């Protein structure tokens, strides 16, 4: 059972949109090189059918991004290299400076989206930090917690196996097979204090769910939220670690 993504944030949406626009960019460059209109749909269809490698890289990139796979970076790299290399080939064919400038602009945007996606994949909601073959329920620090599902009036105990400022991955064998993809509350008891944070389920993995925190302004100064817990465990030297090295 691999990682499932239930909700796509702006990073994933913008990246997939950029991939689609990359195809149109290549179409525009080829049309400009041939002296055709960019609105020539026959030329666009020929681009799709005449470049099967591009299509495979595009489909592979989209599917791997939708599943938040680490190898999506390989597909992205090959896809961006293919687009930019094709643009440079057209430049060397006619030495058109406009194509050269457009290609450099595209490379800058492609590099930006690649770095953006690399940082996104490092977030805790995409990294369960365990495998189905791990034995036992305890984590390295044994950080216990529980989630409160309000609409079902249900409380599920488990462990936090990975975390960052924006979210965490929660592991529990008591999670229902049909998992609520809505909002819930994460509750942690640590050193005599109770920390609670509203969150939403955005990913799931074997016996675990990735929670993205819903940050709100504090209405009660006496309550403790995830930001307080994150600071405390950071001061204690607690860092997320993989169960299997």
- pLDDT of the residue at 130: 83
Residue 35 has phi, psi (to 5 degrees) of 75, 25
Query: Can you tell me the distance from the alpha carbon of 95 to that of 170, in angstroms, rounded to the nearest whole number?
Result: 56
- The CATH superfamily of 144-235 is predicted glycosyltransferase like domains (2.40.10.220)
The span from the CA of 47 to the CA of 28, in Å, is 11
∠ CA 113-117-119, rounded to 5°: 120
Q: Where in the chain is the domain with CATH 2.40.10.220?
A: 144-235
| Model pTM score | 0.84
With H, G, I as helix, E, B as strand and everything else as coil, classify residue 179.
Answer: coil
- What would the pLDDT profile of 41-50 be if each residue is shown by its tens digit? 666 677 777 8
pLDDT at position 180 is 60
Q: What is the DSSP letter of 224?
A: B
Q: How far apart are the C-alpha atoms of 158 and 207, rounded to whole Å?
A: 10
Are 129 and 240 in contact by the 8 Å Cβ rule? The answer is yes
pLDDT tens per residue, range 40-91: 666 667 777 788 899 999 999 999 999 999 999 999 999 999 999 998 988 8
| Residue 1: per-residue pLDDT | 60
Q: Shortest CA distance to 162 belongs to which of 216, 239, 221, 95?
A: 239
**Which parts of the chain sit beneath pLDDT 70?**
1, 35-44, 135-141, 151-152, 178-181, 217-222, 241-245
């Amino acid at each position: 059972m691999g990682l499932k993504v239930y909700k796509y944030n702006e990073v994933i949406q913008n990246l997939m949109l950029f991939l689609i626009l990359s195809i149109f960019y290549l179409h525009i460059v080829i049309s400009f090189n041939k002296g055709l209109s960019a609105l020539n749909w026959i030329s666009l269809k020929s681009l799709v059918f005449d470049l099967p490698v591009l299509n495979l890289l595009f489909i592979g990139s989209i599917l791997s991004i939708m599943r938040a796979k680490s190898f999506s970076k390989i597909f992205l790299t090959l896809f961006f290299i293919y687009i930019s290399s094709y643009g440079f080939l057209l430049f060397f064919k006619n030495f058109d400076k406009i194509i050269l400038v457009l290609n450099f602009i595209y490379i800058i945007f492609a590099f930006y989206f690649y770095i953006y996606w690399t940082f996104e994949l490092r977030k805790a909601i995409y990294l369960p930090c365990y495998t189905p073959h791990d034995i036992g329920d305890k984590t390295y620090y044994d950080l216990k917690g529980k989630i409160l599902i309000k609409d079902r009036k249900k409380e599920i105990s488990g462990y936090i196996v990975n975390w960052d400022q924006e979210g965490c991955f929660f592991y529990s064998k008591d999670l229902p097979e049909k998992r609520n993809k809505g909002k819930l509350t994460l509750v942690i008891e640590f050193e005599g204090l109770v920390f609670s944070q509203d969150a939403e389920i955005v990913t799931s993995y074997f016996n675990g769910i990735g929670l993205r925190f819903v940050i709100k302004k504090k209405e009660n100064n006496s309550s403790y939220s995830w930001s307080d817990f994150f600071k405390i465990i950071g001061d204690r030297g607690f860092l997320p670690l993989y169960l299997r090295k």
